[in-house]
């Protein structure tokens, strides 16, 4: 158990293990290609809650409860909870905190929130500052659309580069007890703004931020793309991932088949009308907490880099004509050969 500075904002972590994960998603995500691999799929977006904001809180609560249940832990056993969401004042995370009453670090990095929380949680546990920590992130299609874009029933056409904010929540419990998946290193991103202005094309705006973090992580750890079983970005989508590949090869880094994207996996692009793919903090959180950790645990010596990307704009800055600053945080995990799948 230790943490070690490898380079600016890249921290090597050892002795920190994923105890269990919880992933709960909405109906559309349930119908997607990964639908079977989440812990729970909601039958509809509201599930009887009186508002969609409350529904998002319920979604996050279920994801956290599921993770704790699988870890055979109670809320009281958690030293600290880290997490965030898309809504103003991160109300989802904070209101769920009202129920569980554990020490809470609310975070915001838009759709990169999950890896920000997971990375910091790993450092806290690895350093011994916390014995157990829970990292989470959530988003809800209907609450996010209403805050960021247009009213739901207002007819308008989405451009092909626009993303579909996912209804999804993911939670991961970390502690020092040996398990199938360990955290190896994390890199915190810096804000990168290439001057993109179109909130309907966030994938292209975020790709340079993703590359910046990945490149810094490679330099600090001495690893290259081929050393990973999988390198997975958060929600660059179909357009963003192509742009990342082009951008990287211009800078002399060649990605192969190991590079993929949670947003691209979450929906069936042909049949689900989601254009560029899924987005939202819940997208990378649920895909990581559901399918990704389980698949990695089954691969001997598997190593994965999760790079969630966030577009840090608000409706106000967009209307004032500001460009969109972006950020990406990376977490590297590896399989240990342990048989208890998260």
Partner 1 sequence: MTFVWAFVIGGVLCVIAQLVMDLAKMTPGQVLVLAVVVGAVLGGVGVYGPLVQWAGAGASVPLPGFGYTMVEGIGEAVKQKGALGLFTGGLTAAAGGIKAAVLFGLFAALIFKPKS
Partner 2 sequence: MGQVIESGFMSTGMTAKMAASPTAVVLIGLGALFTGLGWYDRLVKLGGMGGSLPITGFANAMVAPAMEFKTEGLVMGIGAHLFSVAGPVLVWGMSAAFVVGALRYLLTGVA
Which positions touch partner 1 (CB under 8 A)? 45, 141-142, 150-154, 156, 198
CB closer to partner 1, 165 vs 293: 165
CB closer to partner 2, 179 vs 275: 275
Rounded Cα–Cα distance for residues 175 and 182 (Å)? 10
Classify residue 291 by its DSSP letter: I
Classify residue 89 by its DSSP letter: G
Tokens at 155, concatenated: 């007819």
Does residue number 50 form part of the binding site for partner 2 (CB under 8 A)? yes
Figure out which of the listed residues 156, 250, 300, 316 binds partner 2, where binding follows CB under 8 A: 156
Figure out which of the listed residues 48, 72, 151, 257 binds partner 2, where binding follows CB under 8 A: 151
DSSP codes of every residue in 225-240: GGG-SEEEESS-HHHH
Does residue number 270 form part of the binding site for partner 2 (CB under 8 A)? no
Does residue number 157 form part of the binding site for partner 2 (CB under 8 A)? yes
**Shortest approach of partner 2 to residue 154 CB, angstroms?**
4
Q: 53 is in the binding site of which of partner 2, partner 1, none (Cβ under 5 to 8 A by kind)?
A: partner 2
| Sign for the pseudo-dihedral over CA of 231, 235, 241, 245 | negative
Does residue number 99 form part of the binding site for partner 2 (CB under 8 A)? no
β partners of residue 72: none
Does residue number 153 form part of the binding site for partner 2 (CB under 8 A)? yes
| Distance of alpha carbon 93 from the chain centroid | 14
Q: 45 is in the binding site of which of partner 1, partner 2, none (Cβ under 5 to 8 A by kind)?
A: partner 1
* Residues near partner 2 (CB under 8 A), total: 14
Cβ-proximal residues to 15 (8 Å cutoff; 6+ apart), any chain: 1, 2, 126, 176, 182
**Shortest approach of partner 1 to residue 167 CB, angstroms?**
9
Rounded Cα–Cα distance for residues 57 and 59 (Å)? 5
């Amino acid at each position: 158990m230790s943490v070690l500075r490898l380079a600016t904002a890249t921290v090597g972590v050892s002795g920190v293990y994923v105890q269990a994960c919880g992933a709960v998603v909405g109906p559309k995500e349930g119908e997607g290609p990964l639908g079977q691999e989440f812990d729970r799929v909601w039958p509809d977006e509201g599930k009887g809650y009186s508002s969609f904001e409350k529904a998002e809180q319920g979604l996050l609560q279920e994801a956290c409860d599921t993770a704790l249940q699988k870890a055979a832990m109670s809320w009281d056993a958690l030293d600290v909870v880290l997490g965030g969401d898309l809504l103003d004042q991160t109300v989802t995370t904070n209101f769920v905190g009202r129920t569980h009453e554990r020490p809470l670090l609310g975070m915001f990095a838009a759709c990169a929130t999950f890896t920000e929380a997971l990375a910091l949680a790993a450092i806290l546990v690895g350093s011994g500052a916390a014995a157990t920590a829970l990292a989470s992130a959530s988003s809800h299609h209907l609450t996010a659309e209403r805050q960021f874009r247009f009213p739901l029933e207002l007819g308008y056409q989405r451009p092909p580069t626009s993303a579909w904010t996912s209804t999804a929540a993911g939670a991961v419990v970390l502690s020092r007890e040996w398990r199938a998946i360990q955290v190896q290193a994390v890199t915190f991103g810096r804000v990168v703004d290439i001057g993109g202005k179109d909130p309907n094309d966030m994938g292209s705006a975020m790709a340079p931020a993703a590359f910046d973090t990945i490149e810094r992580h490679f330099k600090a750890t001495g690893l290259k793309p081929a050393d990973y079983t999988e390198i997975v970005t958060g929600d660059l989508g179909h357009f963003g991932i192509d742009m990342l590949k082009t951008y990287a090869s211009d800078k002399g880094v060649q990605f192969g088949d190991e590079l993929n994207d949670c947003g691209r996996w979450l929906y069936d692009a042909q049949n689900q009308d989601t254009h560029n793919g899924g987005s939202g903090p819940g997208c990378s959180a649920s895909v990581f907490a559901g399918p990704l950790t389980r698949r990695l645990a089954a691969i001997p010596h598997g190593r994965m880099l999760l790079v969630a990307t966030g577009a840090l704009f608000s409706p106000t800055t967009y209307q004032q004509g500001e460009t969109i600053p972006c950020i990406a945080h990376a977490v590297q995990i590896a399989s240990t050969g342990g048989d208890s799948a998260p």
